[in-house]
Amino acid sequence: MSIDDLSMLGDDQIDYATLSDETLRELALGDDLFVANSALVTLAIRHSKLAAPLAWDILTKPHGDRYLHAAALNVLFRMDRKRAVDYMIRQAQELDSYVLNTLAEIMLENHDYFKSEVTLPIVRTVIQRMQQCNSDTKWPDSEVREKFLRLYSTKHT
């Protein structure tokens, strides 16, 4: 099936497991963001060498929405931590609130990794942003905020 044929299908109509890595890459850069997200995640599940560079492209170029960017940040952290940390250091202050929630979840799940001097700027920035949220803030999620601040505030403020 060609990319044009696939682009006519909905996310639930595509059998991602049967597609080549290159086709998945093209879909991940396409206009249907549900399909793009599924294609990116499929590449990551396969441990494809295309997944991390694709996630980087999604994060650093004006493509996709907050949900695709959150998925890309997860993929990049799982597959290329050094590049993910570089991105986090540069972008933590400016991240969309939903992507910030994903960053905080990554930091909660990998808290031992975020104890190093290299990651300290990320920790401080996310603490600051979390503290600026109020009870009406939808993202970051209140449970994520509370867990994050409980784990990181006492150690890094």
8 Å CB contact between 123 and 104 = no
Do 99 and 66 have their domain in common?
Answer: no
8 Å CB contact between 73 and 55 = yes
pLDDT reading at 57 higher than 80: yes
Q: Which domain holds residue 94?
A: 82-157
Do 137 and 153 have their domain in common?
Answer: yes
Do 35 and 95 have their domain in common?
Answer: no
Domain boundary residue among 64, 79, 94? 79
**pLDDT tens track for 84-119:** 999 999 999 999 999 999 999 999 999 999 999 999
pLDDT at 150: 96
pLDDT reading at 1 higher than 90: no
